[in-house]
Amino acid sequence: MKPEYEPFVEKLIELCIQEDLGDGDHTSLCCIPADQQGRMRLLCKQEGVIAGIEIAERVLRRLDPQVRFEQVLRDGDRVTPGQVAFYVEGRLLSLLQAERILLNIMQRMSGVATQTAVYVARLEGLHTRVLDTRKTTPGMRVLDKMAVKLGGGENHRMGLFDMILLKDNHIDFAGGIRPAIEGARAYLARLGRRLPIECEVRTLEDIDEVFAAGGADRIMFDNFTPEQTRLAVARVAGRCETESSGGITLDTLREYAETGVDFISVGALTHQIRSLDMSLKAC
């Protein structure tokens, strides 16, 4: 896990525990002795890419540092129905309290990783990489981003704080591409910060404006057709990274990649997914 992800993950786990446990797991407390021990297994029930095992262990240890965790699979492994991802042993109260929390996390993360792997496979043999976006579940972005990586994709910026991305609204309100880029450079110089600058373009002529204004680290082609993208890549001519975005589906993904664009950002990696079915059962 990237060090910068740690604070997000810790806060998220704490929130998950608070919202599920409240003032206590009264169902388990009423019928399970406090010192009763047990063993459970995480069973995969669908084919896909598993993700979130590391987070599941953290949830369990946050609730009970004494649990014994026996990992069988690794995050990013391909799984089939019937495979066991891990075994966990310890106080049953702790295991039952963790059950739904870790399942919610792992099922969603595995769904994202599985979806991403499908897109990545479509790009086999090409240099283009698929990127996620900020279209994530509020509060769970860090896990969505981790899952995309486990599925073989790449992460775009985490949020508004780690990259300057001049999109259409910024450009329009700033008065055009030149003032937007010049403003970004002046802002970073004033703060003594070093952040990558990406600029969205809507026409081929916009590309010339970007370079006339001093250039950017990456240019995003917004809602270009594949043929327009091919012309845009040629116009950039390797002077910076290139990215395609907007309305690109699994069916059109490879056609865009064959234009030579460096990255394709796809919101569907995280906002149009189906969670992977799994369960935590006694054994």
Verify that 108 and 131 share a domain, yes or no: no
pTM: 0.95
pLDDT value at position 117? 98
Return the SS3 of 87.
Answer: strand
Verify that 85 and 16 share a domain, yes or no: yes
- Tell me the sheet residues that pair with 282: 40
Verify that 155 and 189 share a domain, yes or no: yes
Verify that 255 and 148 share a domain, yes or no: yes
pLDDT value at position 101? 98
Per-residue pLDDT band for 6 (boundaries 50, 70, 90) equals confident
If you ran DSSP here, which 8-state letter would residue 178 be given? H
Which CATH number does the domain housing residue 85 bear? 3.90.1170.20
- State the chain's maximal CA–CA distance in angstroms: 72
Domain holding 52, by residue range, is 3-113+274-282
| Statement: residue 4 has pLDDT above 90 | no
Verify that 93 and 130 share a domain, yes or no: no
Verify that 162 and 227 share a domain, yes or no: yes
| Residues belonging to the active site | 100, 135, 167, 200, 222
Verify that 90 and 160 share a domain, yes or no: no
**Under 8 Å between Cβ of 83 and 278:** no
CA 173, 175, 209: angle at the middle one, nearest 5? 125
Verify that 159 and 260 share a domain, yes or no: yes
For the segment 258-274, the average pLDDT, to the nearest whole number, is 96
For the record, the structure tokens of 87 come out as 């075994």
The count of structural domains within the chain is: 2
Residue type at 275?
A: S
Q: What is the pLDDT of residues 10-42, one digit of tens each?
A: 999 999 999 999 999 999 999 999 999 999 999
Q: What is the pLDDT of residues 47-97, one digit of tens each?
A: 999 999 999 999 999 999 999 999 999 999 999 999 999 999 999 999 999
Verify that 234 and 198 share a domain, yes or no: yes
Question: Which residues lie below 8 Å from residue 259, measured CB to CB, with a gap of 6+?
Answer: 226, 229, 230, 233, 244
Verify that 93 and 14 share a domain, yes or no: yes
Share of the chain above pLDDT 90, in %: 96
Q: What is the pLDDT of residues 87-137, one digit of tens each?
A: 999 999 999 999 999 999 999 999 999 999 999 999 999 999 999 999 999
Verify that 237 and 157 share a domain, yes or no: yes
